[in-house]
Chain A
């Protein structure tokens, strides 16, 4: 079977709703790890959560930037969602990074403008491990006191850039980490302490 012909959600309506609702919970509670339903099959290289979020969020109106490791799923993405591949990071509604260490610098993505901050890229970063009992200390909207999040395989530069981005609010990118069936979010409002 070619990658393109792989099946998507078993139930397009309710699996998309279920995935969205879990992502909304993750976005509303930064650092919280949630589990999303996966599609019936995933193209090689994509974790179920990564595939699930793409099926849930993307369509013809959302250019998706794919890193080199994700380029092979362009056909699958186009078949199931109709989403065009973004030619550059700066014009991507969504960006998929399967190789976080090689990810382009954060300021290469669209941060929106002060007046239209929502016109910004949402990064979907697939990682090898996620844990909520170690790593960064997170504060900000959605967090009662503080949360923890540990993400494997990010460069030190990336973390430095993400902290620097906080000063640009309301401009910025929102980041969603995926790992297996699990998802955690880091919206631009979240303050990362070491």
Chain B
């Protein structure tokens, strides 16, 4: 690599913003997290120049991992062009100077909020999840001393009962996002608020999965090729969302679809949540049924209008 073009941080900042002492502390936590798949490791989360809810845990994990040779992709709800994703990508461009991309297959690190890309991640890639609440047992037991004991003894019976009650009450499991998983047959883990549609992608994924919760100061991980099973029951097997529609833009019938409002009169359409995947399919010549009349040309070129944030 030419020294003239070596990626550098903006003047006055250490590479990747964090000081070296903080990086070391986070790196040690990441290594233990990989050695104990699905177990939450406390870490001394730092103040970041973005507020909580903007993925400060994921940002710190990425900052501790990223190097000059990396290519970073940042998505929010599957899209590279949402405010959160643009902001985090800009932060790393300023603080590292590394290359960024929207192409899943060209990224070495993918930082994400709320989705796993449709394009299968490969060995050597790292996916970093932004986690708001890391504790899967929180809604059963608010006391951390108790949840620690439950994880320590793998006492997860109460979680099964709670999910089963959901089935009895609603006829199905209500939890559509952040659906709990069992990692390597030992630790119950929250996958972050991804749709349960994405849960099967975590199972034996060839890429390394890292999770960072900034406000709650926890890091956890799933190594490559590790079993990740969504909780279910013999008489009620785990099921993912299915749509009667195909993507209006690329015609995909197997990707996660967002329903979007396309014009002032309230017309709606279904499009891929993963904008890179959708764009790549269209570039290969795939076409959907098209957007309803009144849909703007800018949107047809791949922007994401009307996408719900949260």
Contacts and interface: CB of A to CB of B under 8 A. Distances in A.
Contacts, number: 102
A141 B67 contact: no
Contacts of A189: 35-37, 184, 223
Interface residues of A, number: 38
Contact of A27 (B15, B34, B151): B34
B65 A24 contact: yes
A16 B148 CA distance: 33
B207 to A, nearest CB: 9
Contact of A174 (B20, B35, B41, B67): B35
A159 to B, nearest CB: 19
Interface stretch (B21-29, B72-80, B285-293): B21-29
A135 interface: no
Interface residues of A, dominant DSSP? loop
Contacts of B41: 118
Contact of A118 (B29, B153, B223, B226): B29
A18 interface: yes
Interface string B1-34: 0000000000000110000110111011111111
Contact of A188 (B27, B36, B206): B36
Given A20-B65, A28-B223, A189-B184, 11 more contacts: A12-B20, A13-B15, A17-B23, A20-B64, A24-B34, A57-B28, A59-B21, A118-B39, A118-B41, A142-B223, A170-B187
* 10 cross-chain pairs, A with B, having the tightest CB-CB distances, nearest first: A114-B152, A115-B152, A187-B35, A118-B32, A142-B223, A141-B226, A141-B223, A174-B35, A17-B67, A115-B148
Interface of B: 14-15, 20-21, 23-25, 27-37, 39, 41, 64-68, 148-149, 151-153, 184, 186-187, 206, 208, 222-226
Interface of A: 12-14, 16-18, 20-21, 23-24, 27-29, 56-59, 61-62, 93, 113-118, 120, 122, 141-144, 169-170, 174, 187-189
